[in-house]
Amino acid sequence: MSKQLAVWLGAGLLAGSGGLASAQQPLIEGVSVAPFGKTTGGKNVEVYTLQNKTGMSAKIMTYGAIVTSLKTKDRDGKYGDVVLGFDTLDAYLKGHPFFGAIAGRYANRIAKGKFTLDGKTYSLFVNNGPNSLHGGKVGFDKQVWRAKPIKSKLGPAVRFDYLSKDGEEGYPGNLRVSVTYTLTSDDALKIDYMAQTDKATPVNLTNHSYFNLAGKGDILDHRIQLNAEFYTPVDATQIPTGEIKSVLNTPFNFKTIHKIGDKVLDLEGDPGGYDHNYILDSRGSLSVAAVEVREDTTGRRMVMYTTEPGVQFYTANFLDGTLTGKNGVNYAKQTAFCLEAQHYPDSPNHPKFPSTIVRPGKPYRQTTIYKFSTFGGAGK
């Protein structure tokens, strides 16, 4: 056992040891906790509820650090849930397409489940055709994280901690991860990520929430402005070809706001919808909007800001109605969209892409913000 790992374990951050919150622990203003069941291995799972002073609320559970609910107001002041998920832990345990989860150690795909780092080749679990996806067979989305409410001037917050051991899912290094969710006073869900390692390793973390600003139906009439002039084309297995291509004069162009469904049928090869990495014009600035989405019937607006260089825009093409979600709703194709802030897919195998390698003494940090508001009549 390394000295660094011993320090981490001594700090009580051993993965899978359950939540820190209990009925005996006083919670801070705007944060409450409730039991949500047990895993098949008998680990307790809790749900933390954040509520700000405007009435917006978020629920995040210790299993997968999953956002299970996010309630925001519409233009009439009525609150509704804008993320997909389930009513029970058992439904999550049976398997799902990463609803609301933290994806890692490496979000998105790594080609053929292999990469070479410092002269050594590592093999990962292959779980998506020929490739490794979102961390492998048992990624961060299937781990029980430790959780602790923290004081923040911005609003109620909870920090989730997980220690991914050296060799987990084939990745090198003991990686200590913390993800802090803050529900701000100006109606934003702010997600701060930090990771430290004792051995060089690739790291790419994201939140995989499925959004529907109407709360029901498909999302093809949602209007989106994606501030990205370039994207990374992919092969038939969704692995980047290495090319950086302009969105101009293609169905991938959302530089000006328009409906998601306007050009879906024009996509080459008919992948069923969007599932592509965009290179953001914001270049890591939290003062520049990366993406804006508007839903005309409710007047809900969501703006995403991120320090990440890319975002995976996914339109839930693989939902097929077989999953029954919250309130008995069957989740059909394109009933949600995802905006997964990230580094590029398969970066460890593309030296020209921004590096995802984290080394000892140089922590990984990332911040993504989803800010909610309302606007006037349709088309405004």
pLDDT tens digits for range 121-130? 999 999 999 9
350 catalytically annotated: no
In a domain, 376, yes or no: no
Ramachandran category for residue 215: left, alpha or beta (phi over 0 → left; psi -120 to 50 → alpha): left
For residue 196, give the H/E element and its range: strand 188-197
340 catalytically annotated: yes
Strands 188-197 and 338-342: unpaired
In a domain, 285, yes or no: yes
Residue 265 pLDDT: 81
Considering the candidates 134, 308, 340, 343, report the single residue annotated as catalytic: 340
For 228-264, what is each residue's pLDDT tens digit?
Answer: 999 999 999 999 999 999 999 999 999 999 999 998 8
Q: What percent of the chain stands above pLDDT 70?
A: 91
The CATH number of residue 162's host domain is: 2.70.98.10
In a domain, 379, yes or no: no
In a domain, 375, yes or no: no
Which range of residues forms the domain containing residue 227? Answer: 3-370
Residue 269 pLDDT: 60
- Average pLDDT across the chain, whole number: 92
In a domain, 377, yes or no: no
Total number of domains constituting the chain: 1
In a domain, 40, yes or no: yes
DSSP 3-state helix, strand, coil percentages of the chain (rounded to 5)? 10, 40, 50
Measure the CA dihedral 7/12/16/22, to 10°.
-170
In a domain, 380, yes or no: no
Considering the candidates 208, 222, 276, 343, report the single residue annotated as catalytic: 208
Averaged pLDDT, 321-332:
95
For residue 97, pLDDT beyond 80: yes
In a domain, 315, yes or no: yes
Q: Is the whole model's pTM more than 0.75, yes or no?
A: yes
